[in-house]
Structure 1
């Protein structure tokens, strides 16, 4: 199906990561010009940008000044900016229950997963206020829907994106651009670098897919295609404020005994 994304300008934050790089390539396949955002992985971001004929742009998304400069830089690099995919985030690897979690970790996780998205959206919407068009896709997580023991900080940040934030933002958009849209994608277990080793263990794979109707984990391309679909005004032009879960039918309960 024609997406009508050809020639559009797209910024993907965290574009050098697993889901991010798949998303960059998916937009490029549709003929969009893509800016690959990175914070520290410059070599990979620049290589990917060269591969797709886009641009690499750097910012620390927890820095207000750097995010405010990121959007004009992306506009300059691409010639226009129509879509922003707020994909960047950080999952802290250490399992820590609430009663052991430091305030420092809590604040850092929220800064990296919630503050960063707020700043990205704010900067982009100041641009949308002048162009009167735009589409936002926020990448949350099933942790934000079902919780994640040992990672309440991450679940809280991702849950905020998939509830109050997106529901408020879709109504606020009408004040500056009546046709602009915002939606959320919640990936479940996905075969990215940080999970790949664990997912090679059949016992681990069986355990994590017990709550999923489809007994397999997703690939980054599975998430990327849904993001592109939501970003397309032709395909999803009457969809806003929605949360789409891409997790094989995951539920908050066990569906399989083994």
Structure 2
């Protein structure tokens, strides 16, 4: 099926990461023009952009001035901007229950995972206000649906992206773009580089798939194809305000015992 994304301008935040890179490649395969946003991973971002005829642009998404400059830079580089994929996020590795978590960590996690998306969407919607058209796909997490013990900060941020923020934005975008849409994708455990050292551990695989009827980890490409489908007005033109979970049917209960 033709997604009708050929020639469209797409900004992917965190585009050099595992899921972000797959999203960039998936849009490029559809003929879209892509800006690969990065913060620290300059070499990866530039290589990915060069490989797919895109452009790499740096910004600290917790910096208001950086984000406000990112969207105009993307428009200038591509000549147009139709889609924002708000993918960038940071998983705080240490396991910290609420009673030992510092306020500094809490604030940092929300800044990197919630404030960053607010700023990105705000900057993009200011552009949409001038064009009357636009589409946002937000990447959240199953942590925002089921919680994540030891990572309540991350779960809280992702829950907002799959809840009140999403539901508000899908109504607001229609005020400035009659056919504008906003949706959220919640990946579950996915075989991204930060999990690479665990992928050969059978006990780990069982532990993270025991709540899934499909007893396997997802791949970045699984998430990317869902994002592209939501970004396509032809494929998903009547879908907005929805949360799509890409997690093998994950539930908040154990389905598979040893």
Q: TM-score, normalised by structure 1?
A: 0.99
The within-5 A match list for 1:22-61 is: 22-61=22-61
User: How far apart in 2 are the matches of 1:47 and 1:211?
Assistant: 37
> More deviation in 128-137 or 190-199?
190-199
Aligned residue for 2:10? Answer: 10
The aligned counterpart of 1:235 is 235
Q: Tell me how far apart the structure 2 counterparts of residues 150 and 9 of structure 1 sit (CA, whole Å).
A: 38
Cα distance in 2 for partners of 1:85, 1:58 equals: 15
What is the CA RMSD across the aligned residues, in angstroms?
Answer: 0.5
Q: Deviations over 1:3-34 (max 9, x none)?
A: 00000000000000000000000000000000
Distance 1:88 1:233 in 2: 23
Corresponding residue number in structure 2 for 1:147: 147
Give unmatched runs, 5+ long, in structure 1. none
Alignment gaps of 5+ in structure 2 = none
Which residue of 2 is the match for residue 107 of structure 1? 107
Deviations 1:37-93 (A, max 9, x none): 000111110000000000001100000000000000000111100000000000000
For residues 79-228 of structure 1, the aligned pairs below 5 Å read: 79-228=79-228
Instruction: Measure how far apart 1:199 and its partner are.
Output: 2.2
Counterparts of 1:174 and 1:87 in 2: how far apart (Å)?
22
2: CA distance, partners of 1:30 / 1:138? 19
Taking the aligned partners of 1:22 and 1:175, their CA distance within structure 2 comes to 32
Query: How far apart in 2 are the matches of 1:29 and 1:10?
Result: 13
Total equivalences in the alignment:
258
Q: 1:256, 1:168 → 2: CA distance?
A: 37
Measure, in 2, the Cα distance between the counterparts of 1:109 and 1:199. 26
TM-score norm. by structure 2 comes to 0.99
Give SS of 2:163's match: helix
